[in-house]
Amino acid sequence: MARQRKVVPDKQPPTDITLSDPEYYFNREISWLEFNNRVLHEAFDPRTPLLERLKFMAIFSSNLDEYFMVRVAALKEQVTAKVTRRSADGLTAQAQLNLISERLRPMVMQQHCHFEQALRPQLATKGVYLLDYIDLNQEQRAYLQTYFDEQIFPVLTPLAIDPGHPFPYISNLSLNLAVVIKDPTKGEELFARVKVPKILPRFLPLPEHLRRQQKDVPAAWTAVPLEQVIAHNLERLFPGMDIQEYYPFRITRDGDLEVAEDEADDLLLAIEQELRKRRFGGSIVRLEVHASMPELVRDMLRQEMDLAESDVYEVEGLLCLSDLFALTDLPLPELKDAAWRSALPTRLRRSLDADLSSLDLEEDFFAVIRKQDLMLHHPYYSFSNTVQRFLTQAAHDPDVLAIKTTLYRTSGDSPIVDALITAAENGKQVSVLVELKARFDEENNINWARKLENVGVHVVYGLVGLKTHTKVMLVVRREEGRIRRYVHIGTGNYNPKTARLYTDIGLLSCRDDLGADLTDLFNYLTGYSRQQSYRKLLVAPVNLRNRMLSLIHRESEHASNGHHARIVAKMNALVDPGMIVALYEASQAGVQIDLIVRGMCCLRPQLPGISDNIRVVSIVGRFLEHSRIFYFHNQGEEEVFIGSADWMTRNLDRRVEAVVPIDDPAIAKDLQEILGILLADNRQAWDLQPDGHYIQRRPATGISEQSSQRILMEMAQQQ
């Protein structure tokens, strides 16, 4: 845990306050770990269906992998480079690494203990068995030995480690076996490494007739970890040798890219080269070992990988629990959340036919948007039948002249890209900004960029030094002798798959000022424009920070003048010190502030004299809360905004972002209702305490459970 200042509720407010003082900030790295701990809690919560609990356990592990590849790797690089800069909470890079290790180890231990001692037995009561090899009967072993000989053995490559065989390269996130072997002729012990191949299933299912049976419980699924099947057939890899022991281990490498954009003649080629380095380079930042591994083997691995003891994490049971994702696909609906089918907004239900080819063009998407702005709330409202369909119609519409959009992340089989290709093939002017630097999606985006370029789409890669994170689309259409521009501005990626899992807001509009602003924004992205002012949009890094600060300061002025003042802001992360100072000042002025921050929050709420009027809640549930909504009371002339930016320094200063004001009163009211529902959640909401801990809300006696996501699902179906 980061440095903590004990807060006594009735303590007198500090008289000499410097709001930039480190004691008023949580460490961002520890705050992220606390978020991941809330994810892990869903795996512990008996109210969560069993296979969904496995999903949250897998998400926790997957999140940690990325955390080490990016955040821990960056801190270790700072230590190596002797960087003296401190975090907002006053900590050096080494101090942060020490805190991470101290906070994370009990979490990991808790995770694995719960999986082994609680979830595996509970799965067995439902006929789902993940068995250890030593617990198999003879018939099951015989089947797996045949499977090993036919399917696994040809893929394996044992690597000896001795003076003639240097320590092998070990790929990122790979699961391996450290094998101790004895040569019976020489009597010496040898060491080898066997990689567990990723191309094979991590959990090998047994055929139905070999599944474990239990009285009154149908055998739904029985499987054995792949590494155990390999381990118990090692004599096939080392004939003539005595297998002494085997120990699973796993490594994590630095996964971030370093691209000198201003020196790169071709950004696409430069990123491809960095991707190859990521695949085959990157320093090792974490070693996970099974707790049974003896100190001698562990030290040998650690020294060969140039790791400190603090970089080693012991695990009881199975390594790499992110592979539990595979179990969530089991056809056992009774062990999962009830299936959710996204709805359509009421206006679209009345206006759109199920088949695009039979749309009445007098009541098509464009007609619906011309009548009134349309708000979309995913996944409560369908993405494929709204945003995707809007783009598909534009691609086929003979009156559409041009389509421009940004792509930050999209799916591997993207219907969005297919629609853009169709539009280009239909002779429309199509321009797409593909962000090649979208972390861990670089390769996917390179492939899409090339595919788009091959059909004549104008593809650009953004601005030097900036990531283009904004999610915007512009459709230019000729109507009755004039040009009309239709826009989509959203908080989430143009990705149909994540749109079913993430909560996001989108606005469809044909307001002239928004169309003009997006035209200017795309000129800024694709040409040499240095647009510094926009009619409506708040754009980073141009005016977003200053406009948000001015909105906060305006509420402070209202409160100072004795008027009611209120701010409600929903985002993924609150890290930027400048925004935090502005919120502290607003609290001191008397502004009532509610912050819905899913992940990192460096602001300390409820500090006497500092943040008495600030409350912070985090919601972790079935869907990943991803939307950004900003509400300002403004003496009853309320203003509501949505957009792609969190209040992080990178979003405000180093990314291209767009936040849009909601001018339609009905939509503004709907967004306020959403914020109210989220703030009233007593099922998936966690309240941030002044000391950095989160406490999950529980319904008081006699009060019904209020899950905001469940309520929003019900509302979408009932409209």
Q: Residue 661: in which H helix or E strand, if any?
A: strand 655-661
DSSP character at residue 354? S
Looking at 469, 488, 626, 633, which residue is catalytic?
A: 469
- Distance between CA 418 and CA 434 in Å, rounded? 14
Contact 614, 608 (CB under 8 A): no
Contact 679, 562 (CB under 8 A): no
Residue with structure tokens 């949580």?
Answer: 26
Contact 552, 586 (CB under 8 A): yes
End-to-end CA distance of the chain: 46
Cα distances from 169 to residues 159, 166, 354, 518, 655, in angstroms, run 10, 9, 54, 48, 35
User: CB neighbours of 203 closer than 8 A, spacing ≥ 6?
Assistant: 130, 223, 224, 225, 226, 323, 326, 327
Active site residue 232: no
Please give the structure tokens belonging to residue 449: 């960029």
Contact 491, 628 (CB under 8 A): yes
User: Which stretches within 372-477 are classed as H helix?
Assistant: 387-396, 415-425, 442-454
DSSP character at residue 185? T
Q: Residue 56: in which H helix or E strand, if any?
A: helix 50-67
Name 92's bridge partners.
none
Residue with structure tokens 């000129």?
Answer: 523
Cα distances from 134 to residues 15, 120, 205, in angstroms, run 66, 16, 16
Phi then psi for residue 576, to 5 deg, are -65, 125
Q: Which residues are catalytic?
A: 469
